[in-house]
């Protein structure tokens, strides 16, 4: 559905000079498969339930166990909240396609979804930076750790990360809302992304492209550099210790965070490269990379930290053991 704004002169054909401003975008499922596919819908629903259960269990465990009320686990709670927000932003449209063949999404709703996806992505990137700095202080300045990373500082850092994600992405949504659209309204994903929407615009998109690139540099670009710099200093500090056992112990405290960084940035970088340089690749490649970018981190992060963090693993096992004992009683 669309409405028309004529920009033609009296001497020109209206059919060739009509700009369409869409009311709806058409979302795409998985290329080559029917829209309504229960073999895809059911596993996808299970993955979302697994993501919700994992992150909510993580949050509940950290909240109820007072031994986990430390800067590291406060940041882990922020990561879980960002993962929940990122997944919930895509949940309605993705499940709607495969369960109900609901492929139409209102223009404003598409912009709102795009805004939340990119905002939560920027927030998660910022949290990963804060967690890298937490590991840097813990390893390089262990005696000053408690005095440097206070609860107040962590709360302020969380507020800054949140506001940065909200404010940096807001102009992206405002700018794209002002663009005219005159091409096919068919998106290449089952959710709305900025790059995907921008390619359908028929107006001048230079400002949008420049600001979009600037926003990526100011968030993911600076964040990745900060994480890299933090780990360079961490490695230098670890290598300066003489005890092999101390080196292994220090490095083991960073494994969970390194896995979370790789799980977040590898799909993100791959998706960006494909959008920029992989236009000749099959549509299935674009779809799978975008799905991995939004689905993999929220699903894997709770398992990564539960597996590598003894306190969380012990707490979760205790909860399940207690509930099992209650049922037997």
**pLDDT tens-digit map of 112-121:** 999 999 999 9
The answer to pTM > 0.75 is yes
pLDDT of residue 65: 81
143: Cα within 13 Å, side-chain hemisphere: 0
- Output the CA torsion 93→267→183→102 (10° steps): -10
For the chain, strand residue ranges (E) read: 2-6, 18-22, 24-26, 104-106
pLDDT of residue 116: 95
Structure tokens at 133: 């700095």
pLDDT of residue 83: 94
**pLDDT tens-digit map of 205-227:** 889 989 988 998 889 999 999 99
CB of 120 closer than 8 Å to CB of 85: yes
Model confidence at 24, pLDDT cuts 50, 70, 90, reads: confident
Residue 276: exposed, middle, or buried by beta-carbon count in 10 A (0-12, 13-18, 19+)? exposed
Q: Is 199 helix (H, G, I), strand (E, B) or coil?
A: coil
**What secondary structure letter does DSSP report for 186?**
B
What Å distances lie between residue 171 and 176, 201, 276, CA to CA? 8, 17, 21
CA nearest to 51, candidates 303, 298, 326 = 298
pLDDT surpasses 80 at 281: no
CB of 71 closer than 8 Å to CB of 318: no
DSSP symbols for 242-305: S-HHHHHHHHHTTHHHHHHHHHHHHHHHHHHHHHHH-TTS-HHHHHHHHHHHHHHHHHHHHHHH
Of the candidate ranges 76-85, 86-95, 150-159, 281-290, the one whose mean pLDDT is the lowest: 281-290
**If you compute the radius of gyration of the chain from its CA atoms, what whole number of angstroms results?**
23
Query: How many CB atoms are closer than 10 A to CB 16?
Result: 7
Average pLDDT of the chain, as a whole number: 82
Mean pLDDT of 146-174: 94
Mean pLDDT of 63-82: 90
Q: Is 107 helix (H, G, I), strand (E, B) or coil?
A: helix
Model confidence at 304, pLDDT cuts 50, 70, 90, reads: confident
* Residues in CB range of 124: below 8 A, 6 or more apart: 79, 82, 83, 86, 264, 297
Mean pLDDT of 100-115: 88
Mean pLDDT of 259-280: 82
What's CA 245's distance to the chain center, in Å?
36
**What secondary structure letter does DSSP report for 15?**
G
The H helix count followed by the E strand count for the chain is: 12, 4
CB of 241 closer than 8 Å to CB of 247: yes
Q: Is 9 helix (H, G, I), strand (E, B) or coil?
A: coil
Structure tokens at 314: 């012990």
Model confidence at 80, pLDDT cuts 50, 70, 90, reads: very high
**What secondary structure letter does DSSP report for 67?**
G
Model confidence at 259, pLDDT cuts 50, 70, 90, reads: very high
Mean pLDDT of 193-210: 86
Mean pLDDT of 276-302: 81
């Amino acid at each position: 559905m669309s409405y028309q704004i004529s920009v033609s002169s009296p001497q020109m054909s209206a059919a060739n000079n009509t700009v369409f401003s869409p009311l709806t975008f058409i979302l795409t499922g998985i290329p080559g498969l029917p829209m309504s596919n229960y073999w895809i819908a059911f596993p996808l629903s299970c993955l979302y339930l697994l993501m919700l259960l994992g992150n909510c269990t993580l949050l509940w465990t950290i909240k109820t166990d007072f031994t986990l009320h430390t800067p590291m686990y406060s940041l882990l709670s922020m990561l879980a909240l960002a993962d929940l927000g990122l997944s919930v932003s895509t949940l309605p449209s993705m499940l709607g396609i495969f369960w109900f063949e609901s492929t139409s999404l209102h223009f404003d709703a598409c912009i709102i979804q795009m805004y939340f996806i990119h905002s939560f992505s920027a927030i998660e990137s910022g949290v990963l930076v804060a967690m890298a700095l937490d590991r840097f202080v813990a390893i390089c300045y262990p005696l000053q750790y408690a005095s440097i990373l206070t609860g107040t500082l962590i709360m302020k850092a969380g507020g800054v990360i949140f506001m940065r994600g909200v404010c940096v992405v807001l102009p992206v949504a405002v700018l794209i809302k002002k663009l005219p659209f005159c091409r096919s309204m068919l998106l290449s994903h089952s959710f709305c992304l900025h790059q995907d929407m921008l390619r359908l615009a028929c107006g001048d998109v230079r400002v949008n492209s420049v600001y979009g690139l600037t926003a990526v540099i100011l968030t993911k670009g600076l964040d990745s550099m900060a994480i890299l710099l933090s780990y360079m200093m961490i490695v230098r500090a670890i290598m300066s210790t003489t005890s092999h056992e101390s080196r292994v112990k220090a490095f083991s405290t960073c494994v969970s965070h390194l896995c979370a960084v790789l799980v977040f940035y590898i799909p993100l970088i791959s998706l960006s490269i494909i959008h920029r340089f992989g236009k000749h690749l099959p549509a299935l490649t674009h779809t799978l990379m975008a799905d991995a970018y939004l689905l993999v981190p929220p699903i894997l992060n709770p398992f990564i930290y539960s597996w590598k963090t003894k306190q969380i693993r012990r707490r979760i096992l205790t909860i399940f053991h207690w509930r099992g004992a209650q049922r037997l009683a």
